[in-house]
């Protein structure tokens, strides 16, 4: 039996892919303690794990980020990114206060900055990173530029990086008492492995990075999200296009969900939109639109011809698991990185923007539906994921370090 400590930020997109791993570890007889926020205590205790709550100063409510993270309200764009990065680093001492080294393995959220302190210790347990975000180290990352626009974008990012990353880096140095020797966000490179929840074809080549591609782990069934009364309309008589703005950046569904509904109102498709806690503007919907708060993805996605998303890494990879091509429009959090990977991988069209006009969305969706290359590439990535490790293999890797043999 191994003693496993799991450190995960209290956000749905982080907890969702972590729960199946915790459940599998427990089913295999291992002792698991989870460190997370109060909002997700019951979710992990219901699996049989021990739970330690983050101190209040390191906890937050993802449904009310402005209300639970002082200083966040009113910030947008790069100013928000700069603030959030420093906030993640600032939580390090509080996170460390509820950790201990008396375990065999630590599974750590890449945004759980206690990981930076852990990987620098001379005597420590094995530290593995939960790869449910795009793998970015070393920052800045990206494929080789192909166009003048790529080169200009890279130059702008390089110029802005010191301003965006500087406060968090200085804070990391202060909290550690010395220079960490690497950029704070690059700490997964010093870990014992990253359990990247995708396949090699969806991540840029990273020679020498400690990556283990394990595919998406999130499970979304009818037990989690019951089927709506209109589910029978998904009878295959017309292509189904799923539209979602995810669980974080959905305070204004006018950025993507509403433009997509308008864009596809006259198309011979069935639009299935999830609001995920957001609210649509009042008024009648087009006849070809169906709406729910949440839906079971493992039932929905096999019925979809395309997915329109704001670029949540977990949702995008869940779609690729079923060979669903994508249109991604997003610019908050890590959404730019996901949009770039969608385009780079060939599995769809990615636009690293907060929003696009309905006319452009219509063209993009029609291209993904009508041009076979997108679906063919999505199916290739689905086959890569299917050839990856089983959950039993993942448990073996975590507890013994034994790597799986790809089929």
Question: 52-82 pLDDT, tens per residue?
Answer: 999 999 999 988 888 999 999 999 888 998 9
Mean of per-residue pLDDT scores for the chain: 93
Q: Is 388 helix (H, G, I), strand (E, B) or coil?
A: coil
Place of tokens 């570890």: 25
Average of per-residue pLDDT across 172-201: 95
Q: pLDDT value at position 267?
A: 97
Confidence of residue 298 (pLDDT cuts 50, 70, 90): very high
Backbone angles phi, psi at 2, to 5 degrees: -105, 150
Is residue 24 within 8 A of residue 51, CB to CB? The reply is no
For the whole model, what pTM was predicted? 0.93
Measured CA to CA in angstroms, residue 252 lies from 27, 244, 310 at distances of 40, 12, 12
φ and ψ at 391, to 5 degrees?
-65, -30
Residue closest to 100 by CA, chosen among 133, 124, 78, 83: 124
Q: Do domains 3-215+388-400 and 229-386 have the same CATH topology?
A: yes
Q: State which fold the 3-215+388-400 domain adopts.
A: Rossmann fold (3.40.50)
Q: Is the pLDDT confidence value at 378 over 90? A: yes
Is 116:187 a contact under the CB 8 Å cutoff?
A: yes
Contact 285, 383 (CB under 8 A): no
* Bridging pattern class, strands 194-196 and 211-213: parallel
- Kindly tell me if the per-residue pLDDT of 288 is higher than 80: yes
Give the domain ranges of the chain.
3-215+388-400, 229-386
Size of the chain, expressed as the number of residues it contains: 407
Fold that domain 229-386 belongs to in CATH = Rossmann fold (3.40.50)
Q: How far apart, in whole angstroms, are the C-alpha atoms of residue 9 and residue 23?
A: 17
The owner of tokens 């550690």 is 176
């Amino acid at each position: 039996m191994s003693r496993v400590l799991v450190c995960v930020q209290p956000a749905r997109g982080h907890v969702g892919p972590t729960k199946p791993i915790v459940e599998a570890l427990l089913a295999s007889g291992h002792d698991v303690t989870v460190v997370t926020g109060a909002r997700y205590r019951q979710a992990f205790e219901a699996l049989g794990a021990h739970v330690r709550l983050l101190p209040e100063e390191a906890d937050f409510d993802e449904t009310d980020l402005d209300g639970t993270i002082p200083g966040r309200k009113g910030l947008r764009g790069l100013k928000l990114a700069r603030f959030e990065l420093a906030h993640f680093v600032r939580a390090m001492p509080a996170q460390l206060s509820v950790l201990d080294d008396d375990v065999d393995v630590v599974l750590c959220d890449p945004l759980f900055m206690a990981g930076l302190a852990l990987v620098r210790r001379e005597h420590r347990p094995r530290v593995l990173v939960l790869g449910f975000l795009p793998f970015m180290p070393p920052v800045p990352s990206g494929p080789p530029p192909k166009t003048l626009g790529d080169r200009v974008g890279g130059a702008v990012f390089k110029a802005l990086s010191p301003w965006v990353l500087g406060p968090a880096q200085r804070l990391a140095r202060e909290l550690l008492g010395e220079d960490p020797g690497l950029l704070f966000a690059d700490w997964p490179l010093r870990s014992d492995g990253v359990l990247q929840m995708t396949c090699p074809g969806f991540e840029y080549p990273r020679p020498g990075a400690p990556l283990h591609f394990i595919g998406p782990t999130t499970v979304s069934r009818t037990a989690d999200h019951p089927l709506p009364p209109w589910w029978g309309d998904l009878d295959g008589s017309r292509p189904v296009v799923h539209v979602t703005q995810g669980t974080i950046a959905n305070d204004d569904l006018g950025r993507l969900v509403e433009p997509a509904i308008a864009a596809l109102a006259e198309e011979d498709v069935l639009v299935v939109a999830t609001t995920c806690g957001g609210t649509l503007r009042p008024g009648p919907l087009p006849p070809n639109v169906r709406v729910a708060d949440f839906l079971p993805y493992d039932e929905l996605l096999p019925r979809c011809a395309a997915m329109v998303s704001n670029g949540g890494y977990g949702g995008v990879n869940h779609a690729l698991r079923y060979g669903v091509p994508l249109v991604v429009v997003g610019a908050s959090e890590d959404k730019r990185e996901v949009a770039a990977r969608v385009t780079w991988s060939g599995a769809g069209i990615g636009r690293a923007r907060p929003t696009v006009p309905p006319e452009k969305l219509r063209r993009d969706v029609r291209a993904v539906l009508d041009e076979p290359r997108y679906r063919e590439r999505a199916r290739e990535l689905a086959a890569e994921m299917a050839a990856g490790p089983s959950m039993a293999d993942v448990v073996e890797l975590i507890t013994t370090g034994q790597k799986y043999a790809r089929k």
